[in-house]
């Protein structure tokens, strides 16, 4: 393998070896604590603009298959950092190696990096921009490039990952057993209730869980006017997950504001943040974000603690919205706000990823809660 370098914006340098595509890439370096699910992580649109570091030591051992993707068009991450890449596929569903997947998609990967030291550095210093290169191996030159980069704060990354046209969705969550990726077949009768999904970077498993909860699903581009959505007269509206700074998605905030009080609304991750801003609240950026599948979150409605999948750098300051909403979920790692519901209107949202692709299934019931909210509103 060829040599590769990772240089952070504070001047920290990590040496490694290339195992993906050649070239250079710049992004915000974050770490993910999941032990598996690298294919779902790579294809999660919420990672647009970011370089992902996996804290678990070995990646690639089960290869890449045709089912476990969370979006069309290949990986959405800007780069991938691992401690040890295993160039073989020990799983019967594998169609190619992780390295092949990255090379075919033009994603730069670097292995043989001390990811424990890198993770501690990010945890202590905070997330920051970084550059990976397999071509320019001069640390000083790479440092100049990364500090000259404007960063991704204030950048609308949703426009890079949203769908460009409206479409229907029918596929449900995979059941245990051999998986067959087939074109979805419309049901003889549409499921009810109907839901419009604003695609800010929606993951397929969110759509699968909605289908499993009995919804008739239509996905629309992120910039679809609220007036057009209301003309479609859905029973509910979901604001999906997505990448980047919620404050930069001004059209999403504007449309969400027009939907409040008109239809039941459910927000997930970026959708939760957009909803918070539309309600007049504020958001703040975490020091190193929440990325992984092992975050304990207390559901204040049921009193239960759920292990959740997380992928976000921003949080809603729920107290900034005032007494119009109540807190429904709290992260037990750091006490941050993880969910809210309006005290009068049919509005609910969560910061974590209840579809858990990848991750635990503790929070999947939230999709049924959304359906119950819609039925009560009727």
- Enzyme catalytic residues: 269, 353, 355
Name the strand (E) or helix (H) holding 118: helix 115-125
Name the strand (E) or helix (H) holding 299: strand 282-299
Residue 199 C-alpha from the chain's centroid: 12
Distance (Å, whole) CA 147 – CA 40: 30
Q: In this structure, what are the phi and psi dihedrals at residue 297, rounded to the nearest 5 degrees?
A: -130, 130
Bridge pairing between strands 194-199 and 236-239: parallel
Peptide bond into 358 cis (omega under 30): yes
Residue 237 C-alpha from the chain's centroid: 19
Name the strand (E) or helix (H) holding 31: strand 24-32
Contacts with 283 (C-beta within 8 Å, 6 or more apart), sequence order: 246, 247, 273, 276, 277, 314, 315, 316, 317
User: Is the CB of residue 70 less than 8 Å from the CB of residue 204?
Assistant: yes
Q: Is 206 helix (H, G, I), strand (E, B) or coil?
A: helix
Bridge pairing between strands 128-133 and 24-32: antiparallel
Distance (Å, whole) CA 160 – CA 45: 9
Contacts with 304 (C-beta within 8 Å, 6 or more apart), sequence order: 298
* Interhelix angle 270-278/250-259, nearest 10 degrees: 70
């Amino acid at each position: 393998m060829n040599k590769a370098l990772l240089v952070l914006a504070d001047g920290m340098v990590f040496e490694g070896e290339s195992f993906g595509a050649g070239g250079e890439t710049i992004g915000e370096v974050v770490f993910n604590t999941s032990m598996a699910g690298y294919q779902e992580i790579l294809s999660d649109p919420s990672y647009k603009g970011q370089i992902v570091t996996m804290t678990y030591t070995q990646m690639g051992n089960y290869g890449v298959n045709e089912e476990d993707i969370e979006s069309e068009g290949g990986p959405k991450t800007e780069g991938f950092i691992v401690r040890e890449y295993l160039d073989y596929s020990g799983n019967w569903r594998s169609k190619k190696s992780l390295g092949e997947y990255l090379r075919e998609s033009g994603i730069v990967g670097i292995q043989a990096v001390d990811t424990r030291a890198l993770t501690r550095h990010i945890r202590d210093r905070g997330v920051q921009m970084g550059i990976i290169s397999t071509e320019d191996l001069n640390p000083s030159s790479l440092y100049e490039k990364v500090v000259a980069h404007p960063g991704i704060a204030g950048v609308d990354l949703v426009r890079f990952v949203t769908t460009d046209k409206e479409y229907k969705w029918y596929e449900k969550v995979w059941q245990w057993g051999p998986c067959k990726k087939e074109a979805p077949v419309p049901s003889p009768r549409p499921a009810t209730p109907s839901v419009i999904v604003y695609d800010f970077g929606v993951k397929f498993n969110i759509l699968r869980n909605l289908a499993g909860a009995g919804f008739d699903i239509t996905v629309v581009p992120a910039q679809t006017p609220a007036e057009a959505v209301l003309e479609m007269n859905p029973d509910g509206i979901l604001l999906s997950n997505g990448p980047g700074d919620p404050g930069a998605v001004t059209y999403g905030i504007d449309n969400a504001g027009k939907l409040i009080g008109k239809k039941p609304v459910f927000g997930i991750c970026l959708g939760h943040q957009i909803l918070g801003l539309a309600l007049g609240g504020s958001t703040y950026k975490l020091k190193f974000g929440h990325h992984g599948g092992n975050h304990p979150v207390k559901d204040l409605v049921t009193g239960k603690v759920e292990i959740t999948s997380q992928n976000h750098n921003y949080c809603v300051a729920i107290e900034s919205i005032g007494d119009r909403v109540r807190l429904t979920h709290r992260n037990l790692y750091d006490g941050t706000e993880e969910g809210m519901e309006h005290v009068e209107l049919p509005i609910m949202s969560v910061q974590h990823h209840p579809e858990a692709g990848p991750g635990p299934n503790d929070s999947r019931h939230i999709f049924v809660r959304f359906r119950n909210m819609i039925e009560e509103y009727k």
